Amino acid sequence: MPIRMTKPSEGGGFSIAIEDRFDPTDDHVVELMSMDEYQGVSKIDGKPYTSIMWHCRIYDQDGVAFLNEIDHAPYDFVGFSSMSLAKGNKTAKAREWAGAFLGRELTDDDCEKLAENFDGALVGKRALASWKFETNQDGSKKMGFALLRPIPARMRRPTAEVNGTNPQPPVREVAPPAQPTPGRETAAQRRARQMAEYAAKLDAEDNEDDDDEPFN
């Protein structure tokens, strides 16, 4: 596949280079591979800030990692959050995401302990992600978590090796029944409900300064 450069007329940001087979309307298992601190300066008020970069690998339903179209290595998805683990009128993004990777809602006592070695407690853990796309000020696109939650029990089954490397923890999804049980919520209905419930939180995040990320 030829390399497509971003034209000056399209803005200065890089295009999202994940494989074409990735469907952002589907949910995917993600694994937290590493965490870094990002030191930035706000373009709004010039004040410095620190963000956490959450480096994640994304898997398909067969447990195979999606690749980067540029060098064909596993795609490195990066999410940004602030350093906060607070819970008030709005729960800090880092606290929500940590709870998703650890499989439960975190208490203040949990967060007190996690704060001492945050990445050490989370790296290597997995969660289930839904996606959203946003447009940067320069017109380029960025992908982010619309919703991050614990992996449901129905998806925890063994998988084969990932991209020819060592076997990974269970992620294979059980195929849904051909016909939904009367009165039972279908996968599409469940996803629509989850996204609707999360919409209010997304609106709040857009208007708060709690979770800083670099301006592109």
Task: Give the Cα separation of 11 and 23 in Å (integer).
Answer: 24
Range of the domain at 72: 23-163
Find out whether 180 and 159 touch, Cβ atoms under 8 Å.
no
199: in domain: no
Residue 72 lies in a domain: yes
For residue 153, tell me if it sits in a domain: yes
At 63-91, the pLDDT tens digits run: 999 999 888 999 999 999 999 999 988 99
Taking CA atoms, 109 is separated from 103, 149, 150, 191, in Å, by: 16, 20, 20, 31
Instruction: Using a cut of 0.85, tell me whether the model's pTM lies above it.
Output: no
Overall number of domains in the chain: 1
Domain membership of residue 13 (yes or no) is no
What pLDDT digit, counting tens, does each position of 98-137 carry? 999 999 999 999 999 999 999 999 999 999 999 998 887 7
Choose among 104, 103, 132, 144: nearest CA to 191.
132
Cα separation, 97 vs 118, in Å, equals 12
